Amino acid sequence: MTEEHGNTIDAGGRDFFDVVAETLETIEMTFDDEGRPNLTIVMHPDQAEKLRDKQPTPEQEARLDAILERRKEEWLASRRRRDLP
């Protein structure tokens, strides 16, 4: 069902931060009052241990920041529309 609607991402062999960026482009997101995304990432403890010391490259970090900023603006715009009389 999710594949039928384009809601799957094949992470096979890809860099974790590239997959996260692609995921952030497609998921529904909300933000708290401070503008921080409300996100939860769930993974197997073995995978979490492998990623513990991994950091995004400067390019990946810039991409993630740009995506989050754009998604926050989209979310704020949707809230403004909802607040209109």
Residues 6+ apart with CB under 8 A from 8: 2
Extract the tokens encoding 66: 């740009």
Residue 79: which pLDDT band, with cuts at 50, 70 and 90?
confident
12-67 pLDDT per residue, tens = 889 999 999 999 999 999 999 899 999 998 889 999 999 999 999 999 999 999 99
9: burial class by Cβ within 10 Å (0-12, 13-18, 19+)?
Answer: middle
52-74 pLDDT per residue, tens = 999 999 999 999 999 999 999 99
Domains of the chain, residue spans: 16-83
Q: The pTM is what?
A: 0.79
